[in-house]
């Protein structure tokens, strides 16, 4: 842990923090107002079903919606509508929620690498194009990221100050984040364990408090599922389909046909989960290596949902020049952050905060490697890479003389290059510099 004097926000640091948050909020609000006209596509249309289904059920949790997905984001959308907010107002609220990620990452970077890294990390998060784009669209990531990373910040604060209030807040935020994206349910044990094994005697109790509060937040929805469906479903049923879809060696259409051949949401969930486990067992002992080969390039891919929206025709009359410009805006920051994080990881100090961030990164990515990868799914752990990339400016007293470990640097850089090769070829096709990939099926933007 860095020195306490560095982590306590002094008055100048408060002003810097507020300025960075204001910048992030302003950029998001401007994008909401200035984004070209677009229409919801793909899963956005599914999330927007909440605007009719939840009010139709009078906001009662005892309805068949939602169960495939976690409930918080659908109820968030429906509640704003009930309060009179239209889609534009909802985007503005999301923009403000998304801007809260800036101070969370600033404070985390401050604790891990010091004030210079905190400022750079805050600047990157404030202006990172993908994060700005999501705040103007109807995906759960914007809400999830702010909840998730403030929970991590509160865990670090609980260790540093032995504060019960920080531990309770971490548990509350973890619980709400799980109700937004269930994947986090399998990540929570790692920050809790990190807190529990601290040298401070009180941290064991604080870890137990954090975990207890998180489970208490999740438990009412688990109880709702038990009452309504007579089955133990901690949050949602979508994980079963994702597990089978990511491991069945048959086309996606066949997976869905088999899935929907089962009647009832619980039967579908149980069948998909069982078939997913069978598929994993059948593919042993090489399953993990096969999945890393197949899914890791998709998680690291040189692509973005913003570009996919353009290829899907969600924007009216996209031009090739416009597509190329957007590709530069969204892909260059991702390339720079990834390369910077590789260099930073090769020289990272062996400290507890660094270990926590690496554990979160590895566990989260492994969960999606076990199911399936996509550029959208890496977004929740991009802040880890941003913090490490920002640490490259921390070359003062605390990091004087620290150099990259050559073997680690070369290995990670080589691996990153391999991960990028498939999507690099595909993106050349999308940009009009090579034959386009045939698997996507969307109309070409660049001839």
Closest residue by Cα to residue 98 from 119, 127, 74: 127
Percent of the chain at pLDDT above 90? Answer: 81
Express each pLDDT in 328-374 by its tens digit: 999 999 999 999 999 999 999 989 999 999 999 999 999 999 998 99
pLDDT of residue 18: 95
Express each pLDDT in 38-53 by its tens digit: 888 888 999 999 999 9
Please, what's the b/e burial string for 133-147 (b: 16 or more CB within 10 A of its CB; e: otherwise)?
A: bbbbbbbbbbbbbbb
- C-alpha distances in Å from residue 396, one per residue of 115, 242, 357: 11, 45, 22
Write down the H helix ranges in 49-114.
50-56, 72-82, 87-99, 101-113
pLDDT bin (cut points 50, 70, 90) of residue 433 is very high
Q: How far is 378 from 358, CA to CA, in rounded Å?
A: 14
Percent of the chain at pLDDT above 70? Answer: 96
Predicted confidence (pLDDT) at residue 170 exceeds the cutoff of 70: yes
Domains of the chain: which residue ranges? Answer: 1-139, 286-447
> Would you say 310 and 318 are in contact if contact means Cβ atoms under 8 Å apart?
yes
What number is the average pLDDT over the span 151-180? 97
What number is the average pLDDT over the span 169-192? 97
- C-alpha distances in Å from residue 183, one per residue of 156, 177, 186, 277: 21, 9, 6, 17
pLDDT of residue 53: 92
The mean predicted confidence, pLDDT, of the chain is 92
- C-alpha distances in Å from residue 28, one per residue of 31, 306, 382: 5, 15, 18
pLDDT of residue 399: 47
Count how many residues are written for the chain: 447
pLDDT of residue 65: 81
Express each pLDDT in 204-257 by its tens digit: 999 999 999 999 999 999 999 999 999 999 999 999 999 999 999 888 889 999
pLDDT of residue 398: 46
Enclosing H/E stretch for 266: helix 265-282
* Tokens 């999308």 found at: 430
Q: Which residue has the higher pLDDT, 379 or 394?
A: 379
Coil/strand/helix, residue 134: helix
Annotate 145-192 with three-state secondary structure.
HHHHHHHHHHHHHHHHHCCHHHHHHHHHHHHHHHCCCHHHHHCCHHHH
Closest residue by Cα to residue 148 from 203, 119, 108, 111: 108
Coil/strand/helix, residue 58: coil
> Would you say 41 and 314 are in contact if contact means Cβ atoms under 8 Å apart?
yes
């Amino acid at each position: 842990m860095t020195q306490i004097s560095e982590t306590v926000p002094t008055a100048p640091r408060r002003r810097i923090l507020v300025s960075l948050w204001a910048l992030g909020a302003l950029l998001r609000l401007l994008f909401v107002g200035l984004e070209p006209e677009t229409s919801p596509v793909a899963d956005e249309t599914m999330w927007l079903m909440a605007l009719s289904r939840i009010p139709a059920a009078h906001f009662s949790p005892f309805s068949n919606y939602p169960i495939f997905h976690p409930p918080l984001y659908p109820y968030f959308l429906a509640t704003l509508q009930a309060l009179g907010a239209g889609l534009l107002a909802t985007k503005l609220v999301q923009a403000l929620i998304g801007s809260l990620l800036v101070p969370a990452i600033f404070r985390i970077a401050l604790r891990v690498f010091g004030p210079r890294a905190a400022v750079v990390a805050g600047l990157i998060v404030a202006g990172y194009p993908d994060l700005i784009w999501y705040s103007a669209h109807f995906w759960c990531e914007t809400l999830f990221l702010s909840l998730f990373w403030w929970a991590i910040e509160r865990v670090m604060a609980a260790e540093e100050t032995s504060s019960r209030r920080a531990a309770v807040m971490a548990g509350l935020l973890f619980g709400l984040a799980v109700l937004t994206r269930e994947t986090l349910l399998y990540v929570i044990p790692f920050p809790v364990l990190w807190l529990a094994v601290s040298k401070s005697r009180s941290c064991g109790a604080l870890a137990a408090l954090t975990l207890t509060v998180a489970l208490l937040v999740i438990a009412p929805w688990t109880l709702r599922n038990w009452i309504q469906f007579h089955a133990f479903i901690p949050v949602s049923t979508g994980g079963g389909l994702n597990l089978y879809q990511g491991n069945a060696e048959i086309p996606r259409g066949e997976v869905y046909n088999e899935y929907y051949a089962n009647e009832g949401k619980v039967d579908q969930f149980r069948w998909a989960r069982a078939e997913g486990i069978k598929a994993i067992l059948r593919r042993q002992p090489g399953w993990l290596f096969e999945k890393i080969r197949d899914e890791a390039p998709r998680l690291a891919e040189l692509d973005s949902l913003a570009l996919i929206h353009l290829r899907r025709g969600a924007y009216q009359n996209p031009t090739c020049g416009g597509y190329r410009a957007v590709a530069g805006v969204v892909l260059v920051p991702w390339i720079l952050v990834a390369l910077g994080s590789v260099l930073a990881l090769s020289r990272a100090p062996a400290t507890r905060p660094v270990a926590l961030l690496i554990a979160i990164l590895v566990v989260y990515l492994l969960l999606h490697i076990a199911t399936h990868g996509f550029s959208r799914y890496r977004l929740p752990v991009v802040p880890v890479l941003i913090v490490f990339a920002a640490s490259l400016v921390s070359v003062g007293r605390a990091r004087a003389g620290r150099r990259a470990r050559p073997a680690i640097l070369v290995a990670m850089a080589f691996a990153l290059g391999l991960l990028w090769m498939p999507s690099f070829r595909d993106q050349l096709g999308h940009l009009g510099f090579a034959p386009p990939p045939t698997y996507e099926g969307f109309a070409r933007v660049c001839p």
